[in-house]
Structure 1
Amino acid sequence: MSTREDSGSADPVIESRDQLVAPMQAGEKPKADWRIGTEHEKLVYKRDDFRAPSYDENGGIRDILLNMQDFGWEPVEENGKVIALKGSDGAVSLEPAGQLELSGAPLENLHETCNETGRHLSQVKEIGEKCGVGFLGLGMWHDKTREELPVMPKGRYGIMMNHMPKVGNLGLDMMLRTCTIQVNLDYSSEADMAKKFRTGLALQPLATALFANSPFTEGKPNGYLSYRSHIWSDTDPHRTGMLPFVFDDDFGYERWVDYMLDVPMYFVYRDGQYIDAAGQSFRDFLNGDLPAMPGEKPREGDWWDHLSTAFPEVRLKSFLEMRGADGGPWSRICALPAFWVGLMYDEAALDAAWELVKDWTMEERETLRNAVPKLALDAEIPGGHKLRDLAKDVLAISRQGLTARGRLGQSGDNETGFLSTLDEIVESGKVPAQRLLDMYHGEWNGDVSRVYKYSF
């Protein structure tokens, strides 16, 4: 989740609706300037007893962050505590229970993206040896209850954790127990944004299926392949879902602003403090009628903050975020941006991908999205086929798009090799969660702690 560094008090006041549309308009870039941003979260555990470490303990989350300064990362503090880092590879931040996230820098090609990922994982492994911790690439804690997990010292998290149980049953699980991989992509115009948003949202269930990696809860199979994805269905209906209006012909920046104005607020950030505005209306804020701050109007930073508090599986800020995948190991961190870049950054590939899904009804899209957390590639798609069949076609289109991009690595290879792990999944018909379940019911003999041997 986002980390604020400025005070929030010096930003320009929002005087008109044009300022609400401005961040999306400012995101428009010519194709030559399109970049790839990859974000990935990791579960952190103590090697001696598999506990999730607290922030303050010896060898805990604070010490991990402090040690990362040895690699050139600069600390970001909140109330005197280091809660994030910034550097040439982007930013390192903390999720609510200490999940460690790299929000990577905007990079030109997938070779750079995978090198960045490799550098980061090498750094945290070295620090892990010092601090006695390991890192897991999963979509969700496989053996921890909510009560066993620490909470990081970030002001926004206290507000969110207080609000979550009021609007859904699984919001605290989302915050405390899950991990994801996410890809941030650019667009050239409002029309290009809309096409990418529609196509990306329609195909998010496929990404969820391919990366499904959360089949355990509190030490036992939970009946799902991506329980992380299921969690979003009961987190907060005001800020999640398949967003039917995205598929309307008139979808664009204005429709997104209207949607965001209807998403309830969480907080306002002023002078280093988070002010609780949970459930209140940004529309009221625009009119100076926000109960949390009577008589004050929002500043530009408030709108940027608010844009980060909606959680659909595609999200628009000044770029598009593809948000449907479970966390996973190194190879799958590299595979997700490859999947989406191949589809989104070549016009012929984007058109071909949209052609596959454009005739689905909203009911069919919702049905597929609801089926995938349990069934993954065995979910049925419109027309009576399996999602696995669609996966083959979509991966072929993505490969064509990456080939057309022609971005070569040092050895002269293009970007298509990063799809190989997904090819293997589709060919076998078994997503990562199903392989974990096979081991659980086989060689692990029901001992889910064996997952720790599969850390990064």
Structure 2
Amino acid sequence: MSIPQSGGGPIESHEQLAEYLESGCKPKESWRIGTEHEKFGYCRDTLRPLPYDGPRSIKAMLEGLRDSYGWEPILEQGNIIGLELNGANISLEPGGQLELSGAPLTSIHETCDEVNEHLREVKSVADGIGAGFIGLGTAPTWAHEDMPQMPKGRYRLMTDYMDKVGALGKQMMYRTCTVQVNLDFASEADMVKKLRVALALQPVATALFANSPFLEGKPNGHKSWRSRIWRDLDPARTGLLPFVFEDGMGFERYVDYALDVPMYFVYRDGKYINALGQSFRDFLKGELPALPGEVPTLSDWADHLTTIFPEARIKKYMEMRGADGGPWRRLCALPAFWVGLTYEQGALDAAWDLVKGLDAETREGLRVAASVDGLQGQSNGVRILDLAREAVAIAEAGLRARCIPGAAGLIPDETHFLNALQESIESERTPADELLERYNGPWGGDLTPIFTEYSY
């Protein structure tokens, strides 16, 4: 989750809210790729999650990365809660999941190099303290009570709120991991088309990256339990945003939606002030109960936008949020999939043609089916496998049209990063299917081997 935003004075007019989003518009030559992924840390001898503090801990990991690789620390109330270096950030999810928020880069080649270097650094530090890291959509064996709580005020407030608005919010916070990619848009019209494609095809991404079939040591009946969690978290701030597909969609319409999402907090002087359930509209009028008489800054608006969790969302860029965390190849495949679909106009037009006939009921049905059945899911006669096959083909064509070489010109383009997805489509098997086969076969119903066979 995000670190506090900074910059921007008091909001003096409603128009500034949409202008903030619109200020992210960039010409195509300035578009970049920002990949984020999360992973679970654990103690190698006990297979228990890493605590925050102690010689074998999340804190020790952050300090080791700082001392060995030159990362600059980010502190909250004197506690190290993140790192930054060269436009990239390392941050903590509520249960200690370690997240890399990558720098804005120009190609998937660069993104994969960044991921590879980061995982090498993490493994080096982890090996030194007897820790390991694994990429899965949900914690496979740990209960909520097993998870540590990171010393971040934002998370303390959110934890208190989650039980009031849904049944599974704390599972999301403490026991899930994702991989996502952040992408740019050129204009309002470009944003709208990309967001519609992103939301309509997010179930396909969920299915292709499904990697969370276990909960507390047993199969949970879903290929992506992480996706299931998001359907029972907080309906005010999650979902596929049907209004995006209606006439009149634009930055202002997204602002109206965001203003209707209840607040979590206001960040002031290094502290999170409780504004749970309060209204940003009241804040704009200087009537926020948490800060009576005070009006928000653009930083407050930026913070509020980070507390909205639809399957795809916009800030000054667009975030694709539907995929489970997973193995190394899929950390590179996720940005390849979405860049291929959206960064060439021909591919974007083809992707929209693929999904524009889906109605809201079918899109939501596909979302549910993806979490339960993965690539075998369907809704109203639309099969996810068929959509996935066509979407990956469009993405491949888009990457080929980009024609960005790698390895000093030895690799002609970025299409090979889709290989893992093409293999899934050919076999009709997701990572979750492979895990379930191992669980029911050679592992004999014991998940202990998952740590040795699937750790980074």
TM-score by length of 2: 0.98
User: Could you tell which deviates more after superposition, 256-265 or 408-417?
Assistant: 408-417
Deviation at 1:89, TM superposition (A): 5.4
Where in structure 1 are there 5+ consecutive unaligned residues? none
CA distance in 2 between partners of 1:312 and 1:25 (Å) = 19
2:135 aligns with: 137
Q: Which AA in structure 1 matches 2:414?
A: E
Deviation at 1:5, TM superposition (A): 7.0
Q: Which AA in structure 2 matches 1:450?
A: P
Q: Which AA in structure 2 matches 1:3?
A: I
* Conservation of the 8 A alpha-carbon contact between 1:35 and 1:108: yes
| 2:295 pairs with one of 283, 297, 302 | 297
Q: Which AA in structure 1 matches 2:405?
A: L
Deviation at 1:381, TM superposition (A): 4.2
2:54 aligns with: 57
Deviation at 1:213, TM superposition (A): 0.2
Mapped pair 1:97 → 2:103: no
Aligned residue for 1:37, secondary structure, equals strand
Alignment RMSD (CA, Å): 1.0
- Count of residue pairs brought into register by the alignment: 452
Aligned pairs for 1:8-407 within 5 A? 11-69=8-66, 70-88=68-86, 90-382=88-380, 384-407=381-404
CA distance in 1 between partners of 2:129 and 2:446 (Å) = 26
CA distance in 2 between partners of 1:53 and 1:213 (Å) = 21
* Conservation of the 8 A alpha-carbon contact between 2:62 and 2:80: yes
Residues 25-49 of structure 1: per-residue CA shift (max 9 Å, x gap)? 1110000110000000000000010
Structure 1 residues 3 and 385, CA, compared in 2 at 3 Å: closer, same or farther? closer
Deviation at 1:249, TM superposition (A): 2.1
Aligned residue for 1:234, secondary structure, equals coil
* Conservation of the 8 A alpha-carbon contact between 1:5 and 1:76: no
Residues 308-363 of structure 1: per-residue CA shift (max 9 Å, x gap)? 00000101000000000000011000000000000000100000011011011111
Deviation at 1:59, TM superposition (A): 1.7
Q: Which AA in structure 2 matches 1:294?
A: P
Q: Which AA in structure 2 matches 1:440?
A: Y
Q: Which AA in structure 1 matches 2:384?
A: L
* Conservation of the 8 A alpha-carbon contact between 1:89 and 1:116: no
Deviation at 1:368, TM superposition (A): 1.1
CA distance in 1 between partners of 2:336 and 2:425 (Å) = 15
Deviation at 1:67, TM superposition (A): 0.6
1:437 aligns with: 436
Deviation at 1:412, TM superposition (A): 3.3
Deviation at 1:58, TM superposition (A): 1.3
Where in structure 2 are there 5+ consecutive unaligned residues? none
TM superposition outliers: structure 1 runs of 4+ over 6 Å: none
CA distance in 2 between partners of 1:47 and 1:436 (Å) = 20
Counting aligned pairs with the same residue, the percent is 56
CA distance in 2 between partners of 1:426 and 1:345 (Å) = 23
Deviation at 1:415, TM superposition (A): 0.1
* Conservation of the 8 A alpha-carbon contact between 2:138 and 2:175: yes
CA distance in 1 between partners of 2:130 and 2:412 (Å) = 38
Aligned residue for 1:448, secondary structure, equals coil
Q: Which AA in structure 2 matches 1:275?
A: I
Deviation at 1:387, TM superposition (A): 1.2
